[in-house]
Amino acid sequence: MIVDDAPLQTVRSVAALREVVDGWRAQGRSVAFVPTMGALHEGHLDLVREAVRRADQVVASVFVNPTQFAPHEDLGRYPRQEAKDAELLAGAGCRLMYAPSVEEMYPAGATTTISVGGPAEGLEGAFRPQMFGGVALVVAKLFNQVRPDVAVFGEKDWQQLAVIRRMVRDLDFRIEIVGVPTARDGHGLALSSRNAYLDEGQLAIARRLNGVLAEAAARAREGTPLAAVEREAHSAVLKAGFERIDYVAVRDAETLTPFRSGVVEGPARVLAAAWIGTTRLIDNLPV
């Protein structure tokens, strides 16, 4: 691996991005990519550090993607802190921040979309039906713009990771997809940009979700019928103080489909999405 202590560069156009990456390629350097929506936290920096271990140069994108938000969702209030993001990326070893405008990513007249199925169906796909098509579109565009050897994603968005892996396989991208375990605070809460919306009382509630999922995973691992595991976990999430639940489910880890026998028969994840006030949190654990 080539050691490079150059400062972080920021580019905002596809042309400028490609000029830098093409220069690295001409020097024989490998490239890793970490796509983000900004408002970076330690979980994102774990991804960058993993990317640094896997390639000579690292690109991170900071782009709040409008195509994955429905009109009623929090696109407008999604936290944005580009200057701080740049500082954090530089400290983690990233060498290029790609921060395009919406107009750069989606030029006037753009009409192409991506339709996804398989692991995109159900769970998040049922409650946010616009999301995975938007994610697939922006990630495919970013992959074509950056052309990395490896791309690094967090396991907190497990279903998203499964969708991207399927898209890469289906569309023949020559990119290695790496998943990094979810970063958590000292109480087990999955780190998320949306945690910034929570007050102290709400944070205390949010920190109970991981324990509920751990208990559900243990019960599923023991062979408890999954209908009972999911029912018990649903009740426990409400008892913990969450106001409503979109889902608590145990699914096949790769396909995100239910187990037909009603018990775990292979690699699995327990996944949940629940609300505290106007904030929606997701999490998952291996079974």
Residues with catalytic annotation? 44
Q: How far is CA 149 from its chain centroid? A: 19
Scanning the structure block, which residue is given the tokens 């999922």?
213
Q: Where are the beta strands (DSSP E) in the chain?
A: 9-11, 31-36, 57-62, 96-98, 150-154, 176-180, 244-252, 268-276, 279-286
Alpha-carbon span 230 to 249, nearest angstrom: 6
List Cα–Cα distances, 224 to 194, 249, 268, in angstroms.
33, 13, 14
Total length of the chain: 287
Nearest in space to 283 (alpha carbons), one of 155, 149, 122, 163: 155
For residue 94, count other CB atoms closer than 10 A to its CB.
Answer: 25
Alpha-carbon span 184 to 73, nearest angstrom: 25
Structure tokens at 87: 């500082």
Alpha-carbon span 175 to 59, nearest angstrom: 14
Alpha-carbon span 138 to 126, nearest angstrom: 20
Structure tokens at 271: 């996944």
Classified as helix, coil or strand, 69 is coil
Nearest in space to 254 (alpha carbons), one of 189, 183, 177: 177
Q: What is the DSSP letter of 198?
A: -
